Each structure stands twice: as structure tokens, then as C-alpha cells.
Amino acid sequence: MAHLLDNIFWNTLSGTHAHLSTGTDTARRYAPGFSPIVGFPDPQQPDFAALLPFVAPGERFYCDAWSGPAPAGWRIEAESTMVRMVWDGVMPQQDEAPDAVPLDARHAEQAVALALLTRPGPFGPRTIELGEYFGYVDDAGTLIAMTGERMAAPGLHEISGVCTHPEHQGRGYARRLMLKLIRRQLLRGETPFLHVMRANEAAHGLYMRMGFRDYCETVVRVVTPEPHSVP
């Protein structure tokens, strides 16, 4: 029996976040401004043709679990592998980041800037609207670390956007913010999960020590429509 995590991109875009996405019953994407992620009911046979009316020239999208040749009208810009991890630890006994600042639309510009600097994954100006986001700011009011929620399905919630400004790394900000969200999700009856690039061995090791376990490893690709293909 398939698990919701097996095709979490589609199960999020067609389910919990359907109101934040656009597309058809064979291809969906987050609406512009959110994370540039696409999903298909069968990721091994993605219907990219159905997606074309919903994209703009120059947009770049992340998709997973698909390793075939580039479809007509599209170009593959990058390919790698990532590990999908699911929480297998105990409930954090306390809020590890009680001093963290809740982030909202007022922090969007700084959140995007921090994401561009640290590259935690696909991030847009409205990504922090996808769930709870918390961060740390310095004395000048500049956002220096953040962690939040992105994809979701019944009983599941993704930890995402984990990043710390290079000048403030090594102080445990990311770990504390993650544990804060993990505790909040578990109290809501949700199981936390996350994605980490296979090459990021340091982060993968940290997540294992925190209480996550590997669920699967999957191909992840960045694709963009050819200019002549967009209606």
C-alpha cells in the first residue's frame, strides 16, 4: 500500500494545499510566489504538457521521483538526489526556542534574502505563508536564522527552510528552531518529515542524531519550460 510520503509533492498540491496551487488533475504547481514545486499523480510519467498553461517563461520548478528524458518543450537544468526523512524520535520535552520570533509577510523580503544566501531549497516570497515559520533576528532587526513548514498531508508536516546566516552559524539556532516546530507538530498529532540533499552529509547526520530516519532517496530535478512552449 502506497504511503502519502511516497508522492508527497502531489499529495500536498492536490490535497492539503490545493487552494494554494494551480493546475489540473494530472499536473499541479504551487501558485506563483510560493515555492516553485510541481507534482504529478504518477511521478514516473509526469504530464508536463498539462502544466504548460500554468507556467511563465523563465520559471524554474523542482520535481522528484522522475528520471526519464526531458519532455517536449522543457529543459532539465539540474539533477541530483535527496533523502526524504521522517521523525522517529521522542517528543522534545520543552520548547527549545521560546525566544524565537514568529515570521509573517512582514519578514518575507528578509526571508527570501536569507534563503538566496544559504540555499536551503526552493523558496519564494510567499513560502512563509505555507505554515508556521520562526526565526532569530539580531540587534539591528535583521533575520539571521529561520525554520518553517512547507508541504503537508493528513498526519504529516514538512520541516523546511532551515537556514542560518554564515556569520551566525555554529550557535545551534537551526537545531533549536527545528525542535520547536517538531514539538508543535507532534502536539498537533502530526509526524514531521524533511528533505536533505544527499551531498549534504553534515545536515543529514545532524537530522539523524536529532531523531529523524531515512524514508527513501529520490531523484530531484530542476526543470524550466522552453520559451517557445509557453502559451
Q: How confident is the model at residue 2 (pLDDT cuts 50, 70, 90)?
A: low
**Model confidence at 1: pLDDT above 60:** no
In this predicted model, what pLDDT tens digit does every residue of 64-102 receive, in sequence order? Answer: 999 889 999 999 999 999 999 999 999 999 999 999 999
C-alpha cell at 14: 492536490
Give the pTM.
0.95
Percent of the chain with pLDDT over 70: 99
Domain residue limits at 163:
1-231
Q: How far apart are alpha carbons 66 and 197 in whole angstroms?
A: 16
Q: Please report where in the chains the cell 523542482 appears, as a residue.
A: 62
Q: What angle do CA 168, 120, 167 make, to 5 degrees?
A: 15
Q: How far apart are alpha carbons 191 and 46 in whole angstroms?
A: 27
Beta strands at 191-197 and 74-87: parallel, antiparallel or unpaired:
antiparallel
Q: State the CATH number of the domain containing residue 188.
A: 3.40.630.30
Q: Total domain count for the chain?
A: 1
Q: What is the mean pLDDT of the chain?
A: 95
In this predicted model, what pLDDT tens digit does every residue of 150-185 receive, in sequence order? Answer: 999 999 999 999 999 999 999 999 999 999 999 999
In this predicted model, what pLDDT tens digit does every residue of 98-139 receive, in sequence order? Answer: 999 999 999 999 999 999 999 999 999 999 999 999 999 999
DSSP state of 13: I
Q: CB under 8 Å, gap of 24 or more: what pairs does 40-43 form? A: 40/9, 40/10, 40/66, 41/7, 41/10, 41/14, 43/7, 43/9, 43/10
CB burial string 29-57: b at 16+ within 10 A, e below: bbbeebbbbbbbeebeebbbeebbebbee
Helix (H, G, I), strand (E, B) or coil at 191: strand
